[in-house]
Amino acid sequence: MDVEILEFVVPVENNKTLFVWNIQSLLSEAQIYDRLFGVFSSFGPLYLLKVRPNAPLQPSGFFAIVKFFSASHSSKAQRQTDGRLLFQDVPLKMCVQVRLSSKQTPHFLSDSSRPLSHGCCLELANHCLGFNGWTYDIITLKELSDEGEDNGGGGEEGGVRRLRFGCLLQLNFPRHRQTTRGAAVVNDSFTCTDVVLSLCSGPDVLLHKRRKLQKLVRDKALVQAFNTVLLILLENGKVMVEVKQMLDQSLPENIEGVIHVNEFDLNEDEDEDEGWDLTVS
C-alpha cells in the first residue's frame, strides 16, 4: 500500500507544485483566483495559490502557481484538470514539478524545514483529521514580565515597558491515542515619553497588549507542537498520526488549571507569501 508522510513544515518539493497557463482574460484576477481555488482545493488543502498576468510580450491572459501540501493531491489534480475547459472556453494547460524562484522568500527553495504558520497548521490538521480530530490543553500560560522598566529612555524623559509571556500546551489526537507538547515565549516592548507615560501604563493599554501577547504565545506554542507531528496518508484515504520522539513528552505529575480548548477560528492575518517575484524554470 502506498503511503505519504506529511509534516507541518513549508512544502518545498517540486512535485507538489502545478504551473497553470492558457488562462483567458475574460475574468478579473480576483475572479480567476476564486475559480482556481474552487477547482484545486477540492483535491486537497493548498499551501499556496498565486495568479499573475502574462508577461508584456506574451498574449493577454494569466498564469497561476498552485502549491499543495501533498504530492499525491498535486498529481491527482494535474491528471484530472489538464486539458479541461473548467471555467472557460479553452482548456487549461498545466505541468507538475515546477521549480519556483523568489528573491523575497529564498527560504522556499532551501533544504531546511520551516514550520508552517499557525493558520496553515490549522487548515492542514482540520482537512486531514476533521474539526474534531484534535484538541489542545493549555498547561500553563503566564506572564513572565517584570514590572515597568526604565531602560535607555533618557531617565525622566522616557522609559521602556516590557511584556513577556510563556505558554506550555499539550496537543491531543484522541482517535489515534497520540499526544505531544509545545512551548513558546514571546516578548514585546514599547517606549513611553514623560508626556504619555501615564497612558502607556494605563490599564486599557496594558490589557490590550497582554491579550494580544497571550494569543500570540498560544499560537506559537501550538505551531511548535504541530512541528512534532507526522500525518501518514494511506492509499485508501485514511490518515494515521505519529509523533516524533522528543526528549520529554511526559506531563508533570501535578497540573493545575488545565483548560480544554478546541481551536476553530481560522481568521488569521498572515500574508507571509506576499510580494513574490515568481519565475519558473
Position 267 scores a pLDDT of 35
Query: Are 29 and 142 part of one and the same domain?
Result: no
**Shared domain check, 239 and 162:** yes
Judge whether 102 lies within some domain: yes
Same domain, 86 and 171: no
If the chain, 281 residues long, is cut into consecutive pieces of 10 residues, what is the mean pLDDT of each piece? 88 90 91 95 93 89 94 92 87 71 46 82 93 92 67 48 89 95 87 54 73 93 95 91 69 40 36 43 40
Say yes or no: 168 and 228 in one domain. yes
Q: Are residues 142 and 253 in the same domain?
A: yes
DSSP labels for 50-97? EEEEPPTTSPS-EEEEEEES-HHHHHHHHHHHTT--TTSSS--EEEES
- Could you tell me if 167 and 198 lie in one domain? yes
* Residue 159 covered by a domain: yes
Angle between helices 29-40 and 71-81 in degrees, nearest 10: 110
Examine residue 242 and state whether it is found in any structural domain, yes or no. yes
Is there a domain that residue 60 lies in?
yes
For residue 93, give the CATH number of its domain.
3.30.70.330
**Can you give the pLDDT at residue 45?**
92
Global pTM?
0.76
Same domain, 145 and 253: yes
Domain count, the chain: 2
Is residue 193 situated within a structural domain?
yes
In angstroms, what CA-CA distances link 68 with 47, 50, 263?
Answer: 5, 12, 23
If asked whether residues 151 and 86 sit together in one domain, one would say no
Same domain for 81 and 195, yes or no, is no
Whether 125 maps to a domain, the answer reads: no
d(CA 83, CA 240): 34
CA terminus-to-terminus distance, the chain: 33
The verdict on 23 and 102 lying in the same domain is yes
pLDDT for the residue numbered 93: 87
Residues 73 and 169 in one domain: no
Are residue 137 and residue 210 in the same domain, yes or no?
yes
- The answer to whether the CB of 148 falls within 8 A of the CB of 160 is no
Q: Cβ of 263: how many Cβ atoms within 10 Å?
A: 17
Q: Does a structural domain hold residue 51?
A: yes
Residue 121 lies in a domain: no
Instruction: Give me the pLDDT at residue 130, please.
Output: 87
**Spatial CA neighbour of 177 closest among 224, 241, 244, 129:** 241
Q: Residues in the chain, how many?
A: 281
Domain containing residue 212:
132-261
Please give the full DSSP string across 179-197, using - where no structure is assigned. EEEEEEEEEEEEEEETTTH
